[in-house]
Amino acid sequence: MALYAPEPDDIRIVGHDLTDRPGLSLVSVLRNESYLLPAFLEHYRALGVDRFVLLDDRSDDGSATFLAEQPDVMLLQSSRRYGDSVPESERPPTVRSNDYRQIHLWRSALANRFCDGRWMMQCDIDEFACLPPGRRLPDLCALLDQRGEAGAWGGMIDLYPAHVSDLAPGAPGADDPRGATWYFDGTRHFSLRDGGPPRHRYEGARSRLNRSLIDGQEPLSLRARLKLKWLGARKSPSGRFVKPLLQKWQRGTWYLSSHEISRPLSAHILIPLLHYRYTPALYAKVAWAITDGGYSKGNSDYHTIDKLLEAMARKQAGFLGPNSRKLTGYADLKATGNAIGLD
């Protein structure tokens, strides 16, 4: 069988051409992320990223203009769109579902073109890896190289403020997430295993919030919660929240979905991936996501968020639950079992 190694023939470089720039790369696809981009770049620069390979999916909020001015960003654009269906002839030999869209093809193709044989990260702009103080991503790459491991998984931890009023204009963090106070559900979310992605061990904050606040939804049963906690599951009630985050890319590898690739990663390291889901920018994101479409399952996640925000505003509800914990740093994630093998 011929090697499956797609190239992104639909893209063009519109900013600095950093094709040959050495060091650790971060690859991401984005649209309208002006709220998070300054914090995102600052965060990953501090963690040791040397080159950002960012594909802008037709932003209209100033994101592209901002990125074009950054000396360590290689800005890309495409003739295709994030949510476009991929022809059968361009799909990999195996995929996780029939919902295989351009974003999934881009993940493999961009890595093939810009990161073959190199260490790279792939994550979304609202996802911030968290490492122990003083540790940087190149240190982790060196450790994985020493062990002969191809990469490490990231486990997404949803972040949220205390109350729905914290999403309003003028609230702390309204213009920059670095000015806000964030919380997470302080319990173990995942467990590592040999030969496959981590198992989910908790329903996640979004399932808890949706089930407790959206009219007509029921809380997850005690049986289901205990089954998740003790046996684990491939995905949580709200979806999959693990990602192949850090990899030494090898041509011939492919993404089965945004949450799984075709080769195994380390069963000894789990990187907590802080997910800035419930931010003041969420209202605008929901509005254009529902209008423009292109997300999985008919944009169902954004329709659900819209219902949640409406219910929270009507009830003047808060985000905090019985296990909520204020995020102060890496120690909180380690203490709750959401960081493994990083010290």
Choose among 204, 247, 243, 206: nearest CA to 224: 204
pLDDT-based confidence at residue 98 (cuts at 50, 70, 90): confident
* Residue range 184-193: mean pLDDT, rounded: 98
Q: What is the pLDDT of residues 327-338, one digit of tens each?
A: 999 999 999 999
Q: What is the pLDDT of residues 216-272, one digit of tens each?
A: 999 999 999 999 999 999 999 999 999 999 999 999 999 999 999 999 999 999 999
pLDDT-based confidence at residue 292 (cuts at 50, 70, 90): confident
pLDDT-based confidence at residue 289 (cuts at 50, 70, 90): confident
pLDDT at 299: 75
* Residue range 194-202: mean pLDDT, rounded: 96
pLDDT at 181: 98
Average pLDDT, the chain: 95
